[in-house]
Each structure stands twice: as structure tokens, then as C-alpha cells.
Amino acid sequence: MYHLTALVTLLAIAFYFFTAINVSRLRTKTGVKVPAMSGHPDFDRAFRIQMNTLEWMPIFLPALWLFAVYIGDAIAAGMGVVWIIGRIVYFVGYSQAAAKRGTGFAIQVLAALVLWMGALGAVVLRLVK
């Protein structure tokens, strides 16, 4: 069973939902009316945080699950938590200033790469056996 990976998946989705709520909150606070996609620096940064998180989910989630299936639930979940921490650090930094997003971005990229490369390596090893 993959209970830990399932929990991390749900946490990642909850974090994404949080970013969507934050965009809505800042839309109201800054007066950026729908359907505008920009208009106030605080809103613009919140929107980019949400979109960047969405852009990474199709990379992160399949890699997370393939890693869990081919390598192990606990290790996958641990790397998934690192990815979420990276997204949180990204959120906090980018919310303050665009220049402060780098550390969080690097953490989540590293976690996603470990998951993707681990899954790829495990699949290839099974193919050549």
C-alpha cells in the first residue's frame, strides 16, 4: 500500500488549493477584477506562485507515484514532503519579493529531480533484467 504517498499527494493538492485561495484573497484586497491577470505587484506575485505550483504538479505527481511504486512508499513520501517544503519556502519568499523565490524553487526542483531520476532509473533497471 502507498498510504504515505497518498497523504503527501493530498497535502500537495491542499497546498495548491491554498495558493488559489490566496490569489482570490489578493484579488479582492488589491482590486484586480476578473478576468484581469495582473494589475498590482502583490496580486501578480501571488498569481505567479499559484501558476508556478500548477506548472510543477504534472512533473512532481507522476514522479512521486512512480518512485513510490518502483522504489518505496516511505522514501517517495519523504521526498514529496521536501517538495512541499520547497513550495512553501517559494511561497513565503516570492510573496515578499520576486528576488526571494530562488531558495524554495531550488529545493522543489531538487526533490522533483530525485523523484523523477529515481523512478526512471528503477524502471530502466527492470526493463534490462
- The pLDDT tens digits for 47-88 are 999 999 999 999 999 999 999 999 999 999 999 999 999 999
What string of H, E and C letters represents the secondary structure of 40-99? CHHHHHHHHHHHHHHHHHHHHHHHHHHHHHHCCHHHHHHHHHHHHHHHHHHHHHHHHCHH
Four-CA torsion 62, 109, 20, 75, nearest 10 degrees: 50
3-state helix, strand, coil in the chain (%, to 5): 85, 0, 15
pLDDT of residue 61: 98
| CA 71 to each of CA 10, 63, 67, 112, 129: distance values in angstroms, whole numbers, following the listed order | 20, 11, 5, 15, 16
pLDDT of residue 117: 98
* Domains of the chain by residue range: 3-124
CA-angle at 66, arms to 60 and 68, nearest 5°? 100
- The pLDDT tens digits for 83-118 are 999 999 999 999 999 999 999 999 999 999 999 999
pLDDT of residue 104: 98
**Residue length, the chain?**
129
| pLDDT tier at 129, thresholds 50, 70, 90 | confident
Q: Does domain 3-124 have CATH number 1.20.1300.10?
A: no
As a whole number, mean pLDDT of residues 16-21 equals 98
User: Which pTM was predicted?
Assistant: 0.97
| Average confidence score pLDDT of the chain | 98
As a whole number, mean pLDDT of residues 20-41 equals 97
Cβ pair 11, 61 in contact under 8 A? no
